[in-house]
Amino acid sequence: MLTGVFPIVVLTRKTAGSLTATEGIFRDIGVERIFSFENYTQEDHMKTRGKHEELLKFLCEVIKDVQFHVEKIPRDPVKETAERRKFVLNYVHEADMRAKQMEEEKQKAKEKAEREKVLRQQEEEMRRQREREEQKLQENLRRKQQELERLKEKESEEQKAKELQARKSSGAKKPNRFLAIFKSRNERSLYPNLRSQE
């Protein structure tokens, strides 16, 4: 206990509500001394012997309890005050340190989340950059292949044209023997005198 005084709970309306449940609540939080009696109220201010006896019994029990605690533990008010002050200061300091630690952990978690977010963004940007570069590379490769195919086709056409030209030029240089024979025979038939001269 912070003050060294044990708490006493007094229930002055034991006929109202659930007395057992109320006493159970206080016992659950550590209260050992619970007194319940009917006190005088504005609605019930009739003086009765039972109420007097319950009130006097309660006061007597409280005095006995206080006397027991005073006699059991000799108390030094100055020392107790210093100890209570030390306890309170330590409690406040620890609470402050816990709050600072929680704040630091929260800040670290936030910074970590920010770093992870930036890292994910950088990775995504790098992935997109790689995709763009690969796309450009594929496009360049496709253009080069198309250009190479065009060059091959052009070269093939030029080769065919050269071959055709070569055939034409070779055909003009060589005389056609069949045509020459035909011409010579025709000339003989047209010019019979030419044969006799021969």
Per-domain boundaries in the chain? 1-74, 76-155
Question: What is the CA angle 66-67-71, rounded to 5?
Answer: 120
Of 63, 50, 40, 23, give the one whose Cα is nearest residue 9.
23
Confidence check: pLDDT of 194 > 90: no
Of all residues in the chain, the percent with pLDDT exceeding 90 is 34
DSSP notation for 106-174 = HHHHHHHHHHHHHHHHHHHHHHHHHHHHHHHHHHHHHHHHHHHHHHHHHHHHHHHHHHHHHHHHHHHHS
Q: Give the residue with greater pLDDT, 52 vs 168.
A: 168
93-126: per-residue pLDDT in tens? 999 999 999 999 999 999 999 999 999 999 999 9
- Cβ-proximal residues to 123 (8 Å cutoff; 6+ apart), any chain: none
User: What pLDDT shows up at residue 30?
Assistant: 76
128-144: per-residue pLDDT in tens? 999 999 999 999 999 99
61-96: per-residue pLDDT in tens? 888 877 887 777 777 778 888 888 999 999 999 999
Considering the entire predicted model, what is its pTM? 0.35
Q: Are 34 and 11 in contact (CB under 8 A)?
A: yes
Average pLDDT, the chain: 79
Cα dist. 178→181, 183, 188 in Å? Answer: 5, 9, 16
Q: Are 9 and 33 in contact (CB under 8 A)?
A: yes
Q: Which residue's entry shows tokens 């319940």?
A: 36
- pLDDT band at residue 189 under the 50/70/90 scheme: low
Phi, psi of 99 (to 5 degrees): -65, -40
- pLDDT band at residue 185 under the 50/70/90 scheme: low
Confidence check: pLDDT of 198 > 50: no
Q: Give the residue with greater pLDDT, 162 vs 65.
A: 162
Question: What is the CA angle 28-31-34, rounded to 5?
Answer: 110
User: What pLDDT shows up at residue 187?
Assistant: 55
Across residues 37-43, what is the average pLDDT?
67
Q: Are 40 and 13 in contact (CB under 8 A)?
A: no
Question: Which tokens belong to 102?
Answer: 């929680």
Phi, psi of 173 (to 5 degrees): -80, -40
- Cβ-proximal residues to 73 (8 Å cutoff; 6+ apart), any chain: 4
